[in-house]
Amino acid sequence: MAKLTPFTMPKWGIEMAEGTIADWMVAENAPFDRGTVLTLIETDKITNEVEAEKPGRFVRILAKPGETYPVGALLAVLSDGGEAGADEIDAVVAAFRPSEAGFGPDGDDTPGAPEPTDQAPPAKAEQPVPPGIAISPVALAEAQRLGVDLSAVTGSGRGGRIFAQDIHQAARPEAKPHLIGAFAATPDSPVLSTPVARRLAGLHGLKLETITGTGPRGKVRRDDVLALVQQAAPPAPAPAPEPKAALASAAPPPATSSGDVDVMPMSSMRRTIARRLTESKQQIPHFYVRRRVRADRLMALRSAVTGDRPSINDYIVKATALALLEVPAVNVQVHGTDIHRFGSADISVAVATERGLVTPIVFGADSLSVGAIGTVMKGLAQRARSGKLKPEEFAGGSFSLSNLGGFGVEQFDAIINPPQGAILAVGTARPEPIDDDGAIRIVPVLHVSLSCDHRAIDGADAGRFMAALASLLEHPHLL
């Protein structure tokens, strides 16, 4: 007798709430070995390969490619290798109950989780830092204030360095599931039907005995119930005829394309990007500081490099990192009413992929050479475009940089990537006249724009950062 187990949507990372089935790599009832890639699951930023932990086969695949399912949802029924009857598989599907505890799309606790109180717990005696643990001074103070055991905290910084947000996460109370009551359902019926079909039938007052099922062995499915509901809906009233005078004076309708419209649902990544950027523009008070930067010396310096030559963007990343150290007020994250200031420049660099915009992080860019930054960026960009980035490679960062110069864009303003406090937008270098010690010269000039969160960054800080950045780019030997 085959041993059947549910195959569910896995959870990668604390903020993952759902995933999209990109593709199934094995067919239903096809045996597979340990290590075989079973399915590709697309999350907010990456596409993960799910490998088989032991030999087996899928006796029933329920999830469809392209559809999105919450964490813990039933995707398929897995067998240890033996064959199983339809009744056994139906029993596993009917008995499955997904876990209700988890996290929402924004990383918040599930509904009903206890709200954090404003009153801070009493401070505890100072605890020594265990050997081998790297921690920022602010995080150490928070750990002592909240009484968090440092040996149980996993740092999100470079080399496992613990930041204040890691301490706050470790101190959060555990979320508890909260039942909100049963959904309306029909009484027990001998008609074979899916749980969703029974609930929809109960909601619309339909009897399952009157519905013709299109599933296996006549099972009533969701679409069968919805089809009957649509048939019972009253037809929309016909529009009243317009007066002839109005018809005569009306303008001709606008021309439409004769081709078909290709409607594509947003992917999980695209939905996350849309949600986060909408929240950023609605909730963050943006202000912008723009500047022209001469780039002729930088381009001449790059042209003199032999061998594997860094890109202009690699030089900009290095200059940005050094400018952030010079003006640390811009190298921040904003968490509610707290401002987290970083001692190193962890720069998120925007990379365009087929699935959307991804921002892998160059950690400690201030301590890397321009050549090392170029090597790191090539690896990050390649993994980003193939969907192979690890969560720790794009989560966090203290500052963002978006460069559209490669597409010929002259200048633009970027939207802040929360919780970061600022983002730099860089356009292409174009010939423009400048004042060079009293002489007018035409040289390549970059247009850069800094978008700032006014809750944490003042205009004077933004101006000092732009001045430092321009000085480094216009005197590239300082890099």
User: For the chain, what are the domain ranges?
Assistant: 4-95, 137-171, 282-478
Q: For residue range 115-142, what is the model confidence (pLDDT) as tens digits? A: 444 444 444 456 677 777 888 777 788 8
- Say which range, 142-151, 178-187, 194-203, 335-344, has the weakest mean pLDDT: 178-187
Q: pLDDT at position 197, please?
A: 81
In this structure, are residues 410 and 418 in contact, taking their beta carbons and an 8 Å threshold? no
* Fold held by 137-171: Dihydrolipoamide Transferase (4.10.320)
In this structure, are residues 37 and 18 in contact, taking their beta carbons and an 8 Å threshold? no
- Say which range, 104-108, 209-213, 317-321, has the weakest mean pLDDT: 104-108
Higher-confidence position of 193 and 183 = 193
Domains 4-95 and 137-171 share a fold: no
* N-to-C CA span, the chain: 68
Q: pLDDT at position 409, please?
A: 94
- Average pLDDT, stretch 210-230? 83
> Shortest CA distance to 422 belongs to which of 440, 394, 397, 387?
397
CA 142 from chain centre, in angstroms, equals 28
Max Cα separation, the chain? 93
pLDDT band, very low/low/confident/very high, at 457 (cuts 50, 70, 90): very high
Whether the pLDDT of residue 328 is over 70: the answer is yes
- Say which range, 30-39, 227-236, 445-454, has the weakest mean pLDDT: 227-236
Whether the pLDDT of residue 248 is over 60: the answer is no
Q: pLDDT at position 112, please?
A: 38
CATH architecture group of domain 282-478: 2-Layer Sandwich (3.30)
* Cα 67 from Cα 42, distance rounded (Å): 10
- Say which range, 324-333, 355-364, 371-380, has the weakest mean pLDDT: 355-364
Whether the pLDDT of residue 253 is over 90: the answer is no
**If you classify domain 4-95 with CATH, what class do you get?**
mainly beta
Q: pLDDT at position 429, please?
A: 94
pLDDT band, very low/low/confident/very high, at 103 (cuts 50, 70, 90): very low
Q: pLDDT at position 49, please?
A: 82
For CA atoms 91, 92, 93, 99, give the dihedral sign: positive
Q: pLDDT at position 245, please?
A: 47
Higher-confidence position of 75 and 2 = 75
Q: Which residues are catalytic?
A: 454
- Classified as helix, coil or strand, 74 is strand
Non-local (6+) Cβ contacts of 360 within 8 A are 348, 349, 351, 380, 381, 383, 384, 389, 393, 394
Residues in the chain: 479
Q: pLDDT at position 235, please?
A: 61
SS3 of 401-466: the string is EEECHHHCCCCCCCCCCCCECEEEEECCCEEEEEEECCEEEEEEEEEEEEEEECCCCCHHHHHHHH
